[in-house]
Amino acid sequence: MESKTQSSGSGQPGKLFESLRALAATFLASAQTRLELLLIEVEEQGIWLSSILVWVLVAVFCAGLSVLLATLLIVLALWDTNPVLALGLPTALYLVGALIAGMIVRGKVRARPGLFAASIAELSKDHKELTSRQ
């Protein structure tokens, strides 16, 4: 009788360790997948940010040159007739341009996808799946 108890008892720890090993492997595979997804999202955010930065720099450079040349053109064209208008008109145009640019930037920032949104959604699904099994 003792031999039956020992043999059936000795089989249980082996199955337990095998089950724990399989659980650990599943957990590590899931963690690796989530980490890879997180890294892809970080890469995408970096690409998006660098793209926006390049276009902002191009826009600032072009706007700076056009502002300088437009101001000179307006001042030279209107200086003899009305010096106040010659300086006031470019000022009003720059203000309107700044407001439009600010609204465009605000729209782009609001349209940006949330940081790590896909990773958070996957982790939330994992959590729901694990808690529903209990």
Domain ranges of the chain: 35-132
Rounded Cα–Cα distance for residues 57 and 43 (Å): 21
pTM of the model: 0.42
Instruction: Give percent of the chain above pLDDT 90.
Output: 14
* Highest mean pLDDT (candidates 27-31, 46-50, 84-88): 46-50
